[in-house]
Amino acid sequence: MLTCKDFISELTDYLDERTDADLRTKLEKHMAECPNCWVVCDTTRKTISVYKDHEKACCIPSDVQTRLLLAFEKMRAAKTKVV
Ligand SMILES: [Zn+2]
């Protein structure tokens, strides 16, 4: 079973469709059961699409990715107690 931390760490790969089918299924299953991760995924997806529209780039620079992940971690930590 995937934890929220696993989900977050795989999220950018998932959104870039770089995960294998097995992992993808697990991530989707986690999202279906975890509203928090669904929100994080949805927000990240939108952020990425805005970024891509702006830059027409195929990937997010790692510093942006790190900042995004940190922001989401903080947001999540403020709202939920991670088990
Ligand atoms: Zn979760």
pLDDT digits (tens, 9 = 90+) for 4-20: 999 999 999 999 899 99
CB atoms within 10 A of CB 73: 15
CA 62 to centroid of ligand 1, rounded, Å: 23
Place 73 in a pLDDT band, splitting at 50, 70 and 90: confident
- Indicate whether 57 pLDDT > 60: no
CA 28 to centroid of ligand 1, rounded, Å: 10
For the chain, the average pLDDT equals 85
Surrounding ion ligand 1 within 5 Å at CB are 4, 34, 37
Which residue range(s) make up the domain with 43?
4-82
Q: Which residue's structure tokens are 């986690």?
A: 30
CA 26 to centroid of ligand 1, rounded, Å: 11
Q: How many domains is the chain partitioned into structurally?
A: 1
CA 31 to centroid of ligand 1, rounded, Å: 6
Assessment of whether the complete model's pTM goes beyond 0.75: no
> pLDDT higher for 57 or 73?
73
What span, in angstroms and rounded, lies between the C-alpha atoms of 42 and 67?
17
Q: Cα-Cα-Cα-Cα dihedral of 54, 39, 36, 80, to 10°?
A: 60
Spatial CB neighbours of 82, under 8 Å, sequence gap ≥ 6: 3, 4, 5, 76
What span, in angstroms and rounded, lies between the C-alpha atoms of 78 and 72?
10
Place 70 in a pLDDT band, splitting at 50, 70 and 90: confident
